[in-house]
């Protein structure tokens, strides 16, 4: 792609062949009250773009979530923000949109952002994960193909970890379908299968693109996040132990070179918007890894966590871990980390050619200072919500003091 | 942990659940359902399981155990079994 094919404007709207420069299109976002969806909506609204938020959390609650999105850094939503909230049902035919609602959503050419997903790594939830993430994607594609006017573009927000166990330089290409054993969890498998549905739709003629995100964390400036996944899961586990067993030493098992692609939410939504502003149809295949250039080493992350909790934490190799019998405390932590821990088994280096082709400049990555802010702000909030000393007062509560 | 009094065990379980519950009910009865009545999400159930293991100094609750837990009473029964 040459420079003339890039769109430097921030006026919004995915470019399809034939679009006029500067033309604004509505952004339809499903899962708009989720962490990424609400922050994307807020970025686009702040830039003057019209947003239709598909959400099941009601108009007021969805507006509140978008108003308080962390990328806004405390600023209120503009009074003239062009936001419409529409109730929908991801698993219903036509997304359960009535005539008026259907007109609001698909009345003009749009960028349809499909973000709604069940982010769940627990194995007992397989049926629900597949229903929401695969059947839900099929439903949105069917609605898009039936109702979206010509010139619309479908943007599927997937995960960089849809590569499954293929961790050696995962590339921006379509992966073949694979059985569940090729993945760490059903969430990864569901994202792979949903991607293939999008591929089929693109092959059949829709304008579309798949964005594979790294692990999205807090804002690079404030550190704030409202996510509960990934490293937040790890930090919750660590704090639960730290407040009850301060001063203890625990070991965490990890590959010595393991690393995580942690993507600040502000960089994430800026990149998503920037990719969508370009002619994604020029990509072959239209798959973009939205990941930072330099992953964060697990050791660095754990050191940052250790600075905020009264625990000693060692990252040890699986061999070293096996040499010494684990303590009960370590087993409790390991059980809590069972799903996050699966991502500590390898260094992931995702190929990133398309992001560099489509965008100019680099939003702020998660450098050491930003990582400290992300970690410390979350652990501080947890400390306020669940203060230290639970173990000390439990017997008093049991005796009726509660 | 052995020889724990059932009333004390129940009170401690309820205390942990009360602290972790996204939504509180009054009264907190043992028949309350963790997900439907108290609003626990999948992640919050994992958190509760960790708290319970630490509270009673027992082995971690496995995934298969978590799937059987629906109510506060179920948690009490499970802890009672694990405490021997």
ipTM of this complex: 0.88
Which member of B46, B54, B62 has the closest CB to residue A241? B54
pLDDT of residue A168: 77
pLDDT of residue A189: 96
Q: What are the chain A neighbours of B66 within 8 Å (beta carbons)?
A: 122, 124
From CA A295, how far away is CA B80, in angstroms rounded? 45
Tokens matching residue A315: 């990252």
A249 Cβ partners below 8 Å, 6+ apart? A311, A312, A313, A314
pLDDT of residue B1: 52
Which member of A123, A336, A397 has the closest CB to residue B46? A336
Please measure the distance between the N-terminal and C-terminal CA atoms of chain B and give it in whole angstroms: 8
Closest alpha carbon within chain A to B53: A332
Tokens matching residue B4: 């724990």
Crossing angle for the helix pair A328-336 and B42-56, to the nearest 10 degrees: 170
Q: Are A377 and A304 in contact (CB under 8 A)?
A: no
pLDDT in tens, chain A (402 residues): 333 333 333 333 454 444 444 456 899 999 999 999 999 999 999 999 999 999 999 999 999 999 999 999 999 999 999 999 999 999 999 999 988 899 999 999 999 999 999 988 888 789 999 999 999 999 999 999 999 999 999 999 999 999 998 877 899 999 999 999 999 999 999 999 999 999 999 999 999 999 999 999 999 999 999 988 889 988 998 999 999 999 999 999 988 788 899 999 999 999 999 998 888 888 899 999 999 888 899 999 999 999 999 999 999 998 999 999 999 999 998 888 877 788 887 788 898 889 988 888 877 788 999 999 999 999 999 999 999 976 534 443 333 332
Look at residues A231, A251, A255 and name the one whose alpha carbon lies nearest to residue A344. A255
Q: Are A264 and A374 in contact (CB under 8 A)?
A: yes
Q: Are A223 and A373 in contact (CB under 8 A)?
A: yes
Q: Quick one: CA torsion of A353, A357, A358, A360, rounded to 10 degrees? A: 110
* Beta-carbon pairs below 8 A across chains A and B: 74
Residues of A with CB under 8 A from a CB of B: 120, 122-125, 228-229, 233, 236-237, 240-241, 244-245, 328, 331-332, 334-336, 338, 386, 390-391, 394-395, 397-400, 402
Q: Which is higher by pLDDT, B67 or A78?
A: A78
Q: How far is A386 from chain B (nearest CA, A)?
A: 8
**pLDDT over 60 (residue B64):** yes
Percentage of chain B with pLDDT > 90? 62
pLDDT of residue A156: 98
- Contact state of B15 with A233 under an 8 Å Cβ cutoff: no
Look at residues A266, A275, A282 and name the one whose alpha carbon lies nearest to residue A356. A275
pLDDT of residue A24: 60
pLDDT of residue A390: 61
Listed by number, the residues of chain B in 15-54 with a beta carbon closer than 8 Å to a beta carbon of chain A are 15-16, 18-19, 41-43, 46-47, 49-51, 53-54
pLDDT of residue A8: 30
């Amino acid at each position: 792609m040459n420079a003339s094919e890039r769109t430097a404007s921030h006026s919004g709207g995915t470019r399809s062949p034939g679009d006029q420069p500067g033309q604004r299109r509505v952004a339809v976002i499903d899962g708009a009250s989720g962490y990424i969806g609400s922050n994307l909506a807020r970025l686009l609204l702040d830039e003057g773009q019209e947003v239709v938020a598909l959400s099941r959390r009601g108009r007021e609650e969805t507006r509140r979530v978008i108003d308080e999105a962390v990328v806004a850094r405390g600023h209120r939503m503009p009074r003239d923000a062009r936001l419409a909230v529409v109730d929908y049902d991801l698993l219903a035919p036509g997304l359960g949109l009535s005539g008026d609602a259907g007109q609001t959503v698909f009345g003009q050419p749009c960028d349809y952002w499909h973000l709604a997903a069940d982010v769940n790594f627990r194995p007992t939830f397989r049926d629900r994960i597949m229903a929401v993430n695969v059947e839900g994607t099929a439903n949105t594609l069917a609605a898009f193909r039936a109702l979206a006017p010509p010139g619309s573009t479908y943007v599927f927000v997937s995960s960089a970890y849809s590569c499954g166990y293929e961790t050696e330089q995962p590339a921006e290409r379509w992966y073949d379908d694979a059985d569940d054993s090729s993945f760490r969890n059903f969430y990864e498998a569901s994202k792979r299968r949903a991607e293939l549905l999008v591929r089929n739709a693109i092959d059949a003629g829709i304008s579309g693109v798949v964005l594979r995100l790294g692990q999205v964390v807090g804002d690079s400036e404030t550190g704030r996040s409202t996510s509960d996944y990934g490293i937040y899961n790890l930090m919750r586990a660590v704090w639960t132990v730290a407040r009850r067993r301060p001063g203890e030493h625990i070991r965490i098992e990890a590959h010595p070179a393991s690393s995580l692609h942690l993507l600040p939410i502000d960089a994430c939504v800026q990149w998503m918007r920037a990719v969508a502003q370009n002619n994604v149809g020029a990509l072959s295949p239209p798959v973009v890894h939205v990941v930072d250039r330099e992953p964060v080493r697990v050791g660095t992350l754990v050191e940052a966590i250790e600075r905020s909790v009264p625990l000693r934490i060692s990252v040890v190799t699986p061999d070293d871990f096996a040499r010494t019998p684990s303590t009960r405390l370590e087993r409790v932590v390991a059980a809590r980390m069972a799903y996050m821990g699966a991502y500590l088994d390898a260094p992931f280096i995702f190929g990133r050619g398309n992001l560099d082709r489509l965008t100019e400049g680099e939003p702020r990555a998660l450098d050491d200072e930003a990582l400290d802010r992300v970690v410390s702000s979350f652990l501080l909030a947890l400390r306020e919500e669940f203060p230290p000393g639970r173990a000390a007062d439990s017997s008093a509560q049991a005796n009726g003091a509660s | 942990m052995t020889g724990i009094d059932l009333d004390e065990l129940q009170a401690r379980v309820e205390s942990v659940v009360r602290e972790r519950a996204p939504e509180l009910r009054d009264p907190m009865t043992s028949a309350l359902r963790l997900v439907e009545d108290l609003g626990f999400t999948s992640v919050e159930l994992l958190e509760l399981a960790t708290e319970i293991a630490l509270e009673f100094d027992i082995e971690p609750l496995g995934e298969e155990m978590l799937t059987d837990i629906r109510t506060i009473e179920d948690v009490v029964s499970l802890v009672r079994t694990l405490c021997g």
